[in-house]
Amino acid sequence: MTMQAMRALESGDSSVRLRAALAVGTSPDPGFVGKLLERCAIEPEFAVREMLTWALLRHPPSLVVPKLIEELRSEHAQPRSQALHTLSKIGDRRAWPAITRALLTDPDDEVARSAWRAAIVLVPEGRAPELAAVLATQLGRGGRATQLSLSRALIALGETITPILSTAKDNADPRVRAHALATERLLRDPDSGFEFAIDEATRVVALGGAGEKG
C-alpha cells in the first residue's frame, strides 16, 4: 500500500498527493525519506507540503536531520525553505550549525523567513545575542509579511533585542527605523498588532522622530 502511495506522490491531482503523503507518514519507512524530500523540493501546493513535512516528522530525526541539512545547500529556494521549515518542526538543536548567516540573510524572502523561524527554535543557550545581531541586519526588508516574520523572530529572543533595536532607531534608512520602532512597540505591547505598530512607526519616522538626528 505504501509503495502505491509513493507512486501517487507524482499524481497530477493534489488531493491524491495529499492522501499519499498521509499514507506514507502513517506507515513510516526509512526507505521513503529520500522520496519525501524530493517531493518537498518541487511540491506546489501548501497543504501537500505540510503533509509531506508531517510524514518526515514521523521518521527518526537521526535519519531525517542530516538529509535536511544537505537540502540547505540546494541552489533552488524551495528545497532550502522546506528543509528549514521541517527543521524548525523537528527542533533538534544539533542542526543549529547549519543555520548560517547566508541562510538568515538569503535573498529569497521565503527562505529567509523559514531560516528566522528555525533559528529561534534551534538557537543554543547563550547564542541569542549573536542571532539577534544578525537578524537586526534584516530590519526594513521586504513587505509587511516579511517584516512581521522578522519582528516575531526578534521578539522571541526577548529583552536581548532591546539595545539592538535602540541602535536601529538611529539608522539612516527610514524603513529600518520604522521597523525597529514597530518591533519595539510589539515587544512592549504584544496586543497592539503589527499593522497598527508599523503604520504608527512609519508616521513617527516621517515626522522626524525615532532617532532622527538634528
Q: How many domains does the chain have?
A: 1
Q: Looking at residue 3, what is its pLDDT?
A: 77
Asked if residue 49 belongs to a domain, the reply is no
Q: What rounded mean pLDDT belongs to the chain?
A: 91
**What pLDDT is stored for residue 7 in this prediction?**
86
Q: What is the pTM of this model?
A: 0.88
Q: Is residue 48 part of a domain?
A: no
Residue 82 lies inside a defined structural domain of this protein: no
The pLDDT tens digits for 145-199 are: 999 999 999 999 999 999 999 999 999 999 999 999 999 988 888 777 767 677 7
Does residue 177 belong to any structural domain of this protein? yes
Contacts of 87 (CB under 8 A, 6+ apart): 65, 68, 69, 95, 98, 99, 118, 121, 122
Residue 55: predicted pLDDT:
96
Give me the domain span that covers residue 187.
Answer: 129-214
199 domain residue, yes or no: yes
Angle at 112 between CA 182 and CA 37, to 5 degrees: 145
207 part of a folded domain: yes
Note whether residue 193 is domain-resident: yes
Residue 51 lies in a domain: no
pLDDT tens digits for range 110-124: 999 999 999 999 999
